[in-house]
Structure 1
Amino acid sequence: MNGYLLLALAIVAEVIATSSLKASQGFTRLVPSVLVVTGYVAAFYLLMLVMRTVPVGIAYAIWSGAGIVLVSLIAVVLYRQVPDLAACAGIGLIIAGVAVIQLFSKTSAH
């Protein structure tokens, strides 16, 4: 399976797990707690598979950048945690950084 497809699946699993942390209320609610644990287990297993074909620095940059953006968007929708202008600017810079790596770095071509 394509390393970048696995990376996308790992990111989705990590975003589900991270977004469920607040809902788990300190692991006192069963369903969100199960989502947290299974999401992180799946995310790290998939990330381990990704490391076979995608350079670690590139994989981690995409993993962390996409995770930050997606968790921030989910926090707006689920928890009404709207980022201020500075946070939006920072998130924009993260997106720009990942784009620069993907578009211009010879490392990402592997």
Structure 2
Amino acid sequence: MKWLFLIFAIIGEIIGTTALKSTDGFTKIYPSILSIVGYIAAFYFLSLTLTLKYLPVGIAYAFWSAIGIVLVAIISYFLYGQKLDMPAIIGMIFIIIGVVIMNIFSNSISH
């Protein structure tokens, strides 16, 4: 259940962050509502993930942020035409590698 809640939290964060660009400083109502609802869902499901006490907050946040960074960058590429240069791509690869290393080798995570 902890991973399912974390996935829902990540989806909410991706929706909220992606919609945030379209809000124009919260002057556009529909993207603003989508952004706020996305963040509310993200924090709600993250709180459920942490309530289960099987996933430390640092580990949960590492997964959340790593997956969020990569997916928001990919979505922004297609939705907003934002380009990623090679250093940005390499940096995101390092973030993913870091999370994989934590997941495989860390004793902080209950496997």
Q: TM-score, normalised by structure 1?
A: 0.95
**After the TM superposition, which of the residue ranges 3-12 and 21-30 deviates more from structure 2?**
21-30
Q: How many residues align?
A: 109
State how far apart, in whole Å, the 2-side matches of 1:105 and 1:4 are: 17
State how far apart, in whole Å, the 1-side matches of 2:97 and 2:81 are: 25
Alignment-mate amino acid for residue 66 of structure 1: I
State how far apart, in whole Å, the 2-side matches of 1:81 and 1:90 are: 16
* Cα displacement (A) at 1:26: 1.1
1:23-60 CA distance string (max 9 Å, x none): 11111111110011111111101111110231111101
1:1-110 pair list within 5 angstroms: 2-53=1-52, 54-109=55-110
* Cα displacement (A) at 1:8: 0.4
Query: Mind listing any 5+ residue stretches in structure 1 that lack a counterpart?
Result: none
* Cα displacement (A) at 1:104: 1.2
Query: Mind listing any 5+ residue stretches in structure 2 that lack a counterpart?
Result: none
State how far apart, in whole Å, the 2-side matches of 1:76 and 1:32 are: 18
SS in structure 1 at match of 2:51: coil
Alignment-mate amino acid for residue 45 of structure 2: L
Q: TM-score, normalised by structure 2?
A: 0.94
What percentage of aligned pairs have identical amino acids?
47
